[in-house]
Amino acid sequence: MKSFVGKALRWEWRDAVVDLTLDREPANEIGTILLGELEQFAAAMKTFEAETAVCIIASAQKRGFSAGADLRELYRGAIALPEKERNAGVRDFVERCHRVANAIDAAPFVTIAAVHGVCFGGGLELALTCDIIVADKMARFAFPELRLGLIPGFGGIPRLKRDLGNGFVRDLLFTGRSVNAARAQAAGLVAQLAGEGEALKVARATAAQITKFDSTTRATAKKFLKPIPYAELKEEIVLFCQLFERPAVLAALKKFVESTDAMPYLP
């Protein structure tokens, strides 16, 4: 399926480049609808991967690339389940996220995340599956999970460790702070900085260059350059689910969901 329009995203293949556009209000929170359509994209990739050079993942939402997991849905879904079934429900969701992330990470074509605005939590984990991150100079990146008593659960830590120095990784994780695009570029997270509102344009120019190269060489180089840390990713699922079992996490999620503070995502 070379084109698709869903409730939370759409994709369109043209001249060896596939544009995957996230478009779910308010800020592409990753819940069951967005995840379900990402799964459809991961399945569809197989049908066009041989004739694809580049995939650009971007957002049509003004607020940013993605604010991360849909915590309201996660919380409401968790409390709706009997306590002994809760962990299995969360594990199922996290495993589905990992399968999608691993599929995009392993794509034989080059993947570019064109990021603007917020790129937090699960949104950053999605961007980290990509080979190249192009960021609008106003973009911000964060892993706020520890503020809720969790660790990133969609492959964030193994992929950050794969790509970046541990000093920056620990700062990002242990403070939960957000960093701007210039800092993210200095740390090696962002490959290219774009002017305000220009990330997609820069990503397209990058894609145009990449499409000139031989596909076999490109796929071979990617596989060699970017091994997928499967063992650590599996370990992350276990740790995330262990942490999620604790009452403190549900309490933190409850506080977040019910917060009327101006900045509710920061406990």
Contact residues for another protein, defined by CB under 8 A: 27, 63-64, 67, 117-118, 137-140, 142, 175-183, 262-266
Distance of closest approach, residue 43 Cβ to another protein, in angstroms: 32
For another protein, the closer CB: 187 or 237: 187
For another protein, the closer CB: 116 or 159: 116
Rg, the chain, Cα only: 18
How far is CA 15 from each of CA 2, 41, 48, 174, 243, rounded to the nearest angstrom? 11, 18, 11, 43, 45
For another protein, the closer CB: 188 or 227: 188
Distance of closest approach, residue 262 Cβ to another protein, in angstroms: 4
Question: Are the C-beta atoms of residues 138 and 196 closer than 8 Å to each other?
Answer: yes
For another protein, the closer CB: 164 or 266: 266
Distance of closest approach, residue 119 Cβ to another protein, in angstroms: 11
Distance of closest approach, residue 264 Cβ to another protein, in angstroms: 6
Distance of closest approach, residue 267 Cβ to another protein, in angstroms: 9
For another protein, the closer CB: 231 or 263: 263
Distance of closest approach, residue 187 Cβ to another protein, in angstroms: 11
Distance of closest approach, residue 73 Cβ to another protein, in angstroms: 18
Question: Are the C-beta atoms of residues 139 and 193 closer than 8 Å to each other?
Answer: no
**3-class secondary-structure state, position 29:** coil
Sheet order of strands, 140-142 included? 64-66, 118-120, 140-142, 178-180
Nearest to 106 by CA among 46, 36, 150, 59: 46
For another protein, the closer CB: 103 or 193: 193
* Separation of alpha carbons 61 and 121, rounded Å: 17
For another protein, the closer CB: 113 or 187: 187
Report the residue count for the chain. Answer: 267
**3-class secondary-structure state, position 168:** helix
* Separation of alpha carbons 177 and 138, rounded Å: 16
How far is CA 165 from each of CA 168, 184, 193, 246, rounded to the nearest angstrom? 6, 12, 19, 30
